[in-house]
């Protein structure tokens, strides 16, 4: 490994992170909602497309997810867990409804995007981009189109939520800078993050879904149950996590790929607008009317974005992150554990050799 190669790679990483941070704080100065996520997304996108994509975006996303997951876990005391258990039947209904919406949109979006129906279905299911792109590869669907459409949908969600706040003038609870925590509790938080990282790496190898969100959430609950005083994740760390998530998303947004697939981009934007609108204004309204959740929490609970992005958004807007996480995680598990295997089994049953495609 040459020194010049290392310097070039390090320079690109520093440039990307600097642009992401600059974008985040510029958006913050402009008092835009979701400033840290959207600003870093724009900054990272510009560097990735004008200079080159930084490597390691997946690792940055996962580290950021650890802190987002921990921020939810420390909120899950007995009362919150009991409330989430009561909400679980509704969470499951919303998860099923989200998958049905994706099923209904699959054929028209496949036609509009110029892709096959299976790829259209995988593009419209409200699950994670990585999981659906991997499934697309396994069943010989259009992996690249699936990844592009999912990425665009997350960006549509992150754009529509601030736009809706501006249009409606809906108040956002300011997030207080949580800096106070004694050394012992900060050490406990550090131990929680390290333990979560190690367990998440193992869980990922075992194909556990969204391990870098779920693991710190569960480890935090365990720490609290064992009597440890775990502080809330300090706000500077949550801001860094939001910037990390926005940066990793910006690295996916590659203009060169999208120019080659204009119909896919058009289909992705249209499907994103339709699916997001039906989810957050249809299913979100149902959640708001049937629960005690506030308007924003209900919208984010139903929004078909990435699990990490939606929890980070809930944190950024100062709403019920634990409830949002519960709805999002239920939908993710339902789609990836129940719907995805059904699709895989159906496709492989129809394939003459019955075998998945070779990698």
Residue 352 has pLDDT above 80, yes or no: no
pLDDT digits (tens, 9 = 90+) for 6-32: 556 788 889 999 999 999 999 889 877
- Which range, of 33-47, 59-73, 276-290, 338-352, averages the lowest pLDDT? 338-352
Three-state DSSP at 359 gives coil
Q: Let me know: does 333 contact 209? Beta carbons within 8 Å.
A: yes
Residue 319 has pLDDT above 90, yes or no: no
More confident residue, 164 or 29: 29
* Mean pLDDT score, 122-136: 81
What's the pLDDT at 335? Answer: 86
Answering whether pTM is above 0.85, one says no
322: which 2 tokens?
Answer: 């634990």
Q: Give CA–CA dist 255/16, Å, rounded.
A: 16
Instruction: State the sign of the Cα–Cα–Cα–Cα dihedral 292, 294, 295, 297.
Output: negative
Residue 211 has pLDDT above 90, yes or no: no
Around 220, how many Cα atoms within 13 Å sit in the side-chain half-sphere? Answer: 29
pLDDT category of residue 170 using cuts at 50, 70 and 90: low
Residue 162 has pLDDT above 80, yes or no: no
Neighbours of 337 (CB within 10 A): 10
Q: Give CA–CA dist 144/136, Å, rounded.
A: 9
- In Å, what is the CA distance from 231 to each residue of 191, 235, 298, 312, 335? 12, 11, 26, 18, 33
Q: Give CA–CA dist 222/215, Å, rounded.
A: 10
Backbone angles phi, psi at 46, to 5 degrees: -60, -45
What's the pLDDT at 358? Answer: 40
**Nearest CA-CA partner of 157 in 288, 267, 300:** 300
117: which 2 tokens?
Answer: 């129906």
Q: Give CA–CA dist 321/314, Å, rounded.
A: 5
Q: Let me know: does 79 contact 232? Beta carbons within 8 Å.
A: no
């Amino acid at each position: 490994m040459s020194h010049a190669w290392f310097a070039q790679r390090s320079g690109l990483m520093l440039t990307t992170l600097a642009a992401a941070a600059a974008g985040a704080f510029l958006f913050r100065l402009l008092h835009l909602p979701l400033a840290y996520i959207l600003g870093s997304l724009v900054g990272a996108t510009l560097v990735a497309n004008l200079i080159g994509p930084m490597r390691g975006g997946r690792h940055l996303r996962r580290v950021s997810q650890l802190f987002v997951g921990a921020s939810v876990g420390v909120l899950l005391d007995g009362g919150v867990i009991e409330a989430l258990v009561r909400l679980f039947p509704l969470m499951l209904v919303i998860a099923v409804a989200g998958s049905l919406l994706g099923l209904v949109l699959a054929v028209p979006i496949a036609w509009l995007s110029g892709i096959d129906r299976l790829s259209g279905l995988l593009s419209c299911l409200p699950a994670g981009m990585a999981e659906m792109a991997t499934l697309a590869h396994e069943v010989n669907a259009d992996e690249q189109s699936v990844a592009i459409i999912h990425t665009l949908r997350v960006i549509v969600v992150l754009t529509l939520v601030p736009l809706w706040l501006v249009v409606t003038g809906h108040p956002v609870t300011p997030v207080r800078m949580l800096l106070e925590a004694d050394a012992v509790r900060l050490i406990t938080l550090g131990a929680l993050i390290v333990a979560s990282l190690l367990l998440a790496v193992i869980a990922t190898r075992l194909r556990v879904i969204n391990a870098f969100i779920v693991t710190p959430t569960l480890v935090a609950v365990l720490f609290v149950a064992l009597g440890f005083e775990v502080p809330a994740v300090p706000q500077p760390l949550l801001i860094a996590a939001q910037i990390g998530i926005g940066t990793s998303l910006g690295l996916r947004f590659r203009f060169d790929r999208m120019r080659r697939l204009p119909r896919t981009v058009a289909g992705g934007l249209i499907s994103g607008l339709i699916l997001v609108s039906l989810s957050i204004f249809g299913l979100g309204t149902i959640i708001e009317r049937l629960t005690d959740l506030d308007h924003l929490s209900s919208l984010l609970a139903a929004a078909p974005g990435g699990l990490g992005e939606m929890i980070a958004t809930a944190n950024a807007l100062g709403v019920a992150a634990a409830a949002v996480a519960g709805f999002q995680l239920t939908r993710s598990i339902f789609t990836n554990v129940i719907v995805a295997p059904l699709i895989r089994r159906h496709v492989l049953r129809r394939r003459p050799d019955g075998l998945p495609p070779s990698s």
